[in-house]
């Protein structure tokens, strides 16, 4: 089990999970009966199963690439710790569990579950033909707040879609930072990425722009709903300030000529940012 959790980098679930929880608790405010912990468990299950299937499939599809990249040769499949066949079975099992969990939520979630799987699994092939692969990853994670909202209400709404765009630009921006490590390797194998296409300096500029848009969307989402349906107040302002500050901070950690702190920028900073933001926004909804 430890090897499989390592295969899918289970700890990275923390990126999108707080935004799924925001979508869930936003929707729960409109329920006369209040929070359904049964639905909460199903939403949590969907998040874990979908993300696990997506990451496992990525490792399966990229196993030959990972075996050639010095940075990734110790991953479970190229290292021989998990066989490709077992990894694929693991992906199929998690995909099935995701669809089953969606079935028990509502008809719309069940109907949309294959579409969600198509996006999150299809991402693994995108770097073979487009440098926009970072944005496809962003779309996959951006489904979290919308999906969680639909799980409770069975319908779409503007605010969770706004948060979906927050996740889209945020994830795309930090995935570009992470891809800086493989610029030369990607070029050698004719793989596509923003760093491989534009170089490290321009890729960082693009990431800056994406995170600037992220900050604007975070502020707009709060301003648009201040004192209205979402009842956002001062805790949201603190949440936004912390999140944006950490966005800025990660860009001080990484330079085109110094990638030694990419992992700190990628995982630690963004994990803290999403957790604090999600916790404070949810707190704000109930005070």
- pLDDT of 33 strictly over 60: yes
Q: Mind listing the pLDDT tens digit for each residue in 239-264?
A: 999 999 999 999 999 999 899 899 88
Q: pLDDT category, 41, cuts 50, 70, 90? A: very high
In the predicted model, what is the mean pLDDT of residues 48-57? Answer: 95
Task: Quote the pLDDT of residue 19.
Answer: 96
Domains of the chain: 2-285 (1.10.357.140)
Task: Quote the pLDDT of residue 227.
Answer: 43
- pLDDT higher at 231 or 10: 10
- pLDDT of 2 strictly over 90: no
- pLDDT of 6 strictly over 70: yes
What SS3 string covers the chain? CHHHHHHCCHHHHHCCHHHHHHHHHHHHCCCCCCCCHHHHHHHHHHHHHHHHHHHHHHHHHCHHHHHHCCCCCCCCCCCCCCCHHHHHHHHHHHHHHHHHHHHCCCHHHHHHHHHHHHHHHHHHHHCCCCCCHHHHHHHHHHHHHHHHHHHHHCCCCHHHHHHHHHHHHHHHHHHHHHHHHHHHHHHHCCCCCHHHHHCHHHHHHHHHHHHHHHHHHHHHHHHHCECCCCCECHHHHHHHHHHHHHHHHHHHHCECCECCCHHHHHHHHHHHHHHHHHHHHHHHHCC
């Amino acid at each position: 089990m430890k090897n499989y959790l390592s295969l899918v980098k289970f700890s990275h679930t923390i990126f999108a999970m707080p935004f799924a929880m925001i979508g869930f608790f936003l929707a729960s405010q409109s329920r006369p009966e209040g929070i359904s912990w049964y639905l909460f468990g199903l939403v949590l299950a969907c998040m874990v199963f979908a993300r696990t299937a997506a990451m496992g499939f990525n490792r399966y599809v990229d196993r030959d690439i990972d075996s050639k990249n010095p940075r990734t040769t110790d991953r479970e499949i190229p290292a021989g710790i998990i066989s490709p066949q077992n990894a694929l079975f693991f992906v199929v099992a998690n995909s099935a569990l995701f669809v089953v969990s969606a079935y028990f939520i509502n008809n719309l979630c069940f109907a949309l579950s294959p579409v969600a799987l198509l996006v999150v699994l299809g991402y693994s092939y995108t770097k073979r033909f487009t440098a926009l692969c970072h944005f496809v990853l962003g779309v996959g994670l951006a489904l979290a707040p919308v999906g969680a909202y639909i799980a409770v209400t069975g319908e779409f709404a503007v605010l969770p879609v706004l948060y979906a765009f927050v996740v889209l630009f945020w994830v795309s921006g930090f995935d570009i930072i992470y891809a800086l490590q493989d610029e030369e390797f990607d070029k050698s194998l004719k793989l596509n990425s923003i760093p491989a296409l534009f170089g490290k300096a321009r890729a960082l500029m693009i990431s800056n722009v994406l995170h600037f848009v992220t900050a604007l969307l975070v502020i707009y989402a709060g301003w648009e709903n201040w004192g209205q349906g979402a009842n956002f107040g001062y805790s949201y302002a603190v949440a936004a300030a912390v999140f944006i500050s950490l966005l800025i901070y990660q860009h001080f950690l990484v330079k085109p000529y110094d990638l030694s702190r990419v992992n700190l920028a990628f995982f630690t900073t963004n994990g803290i940012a999403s957790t604090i933001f999600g916790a404070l926004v949810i707190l704000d909804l109930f005070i």
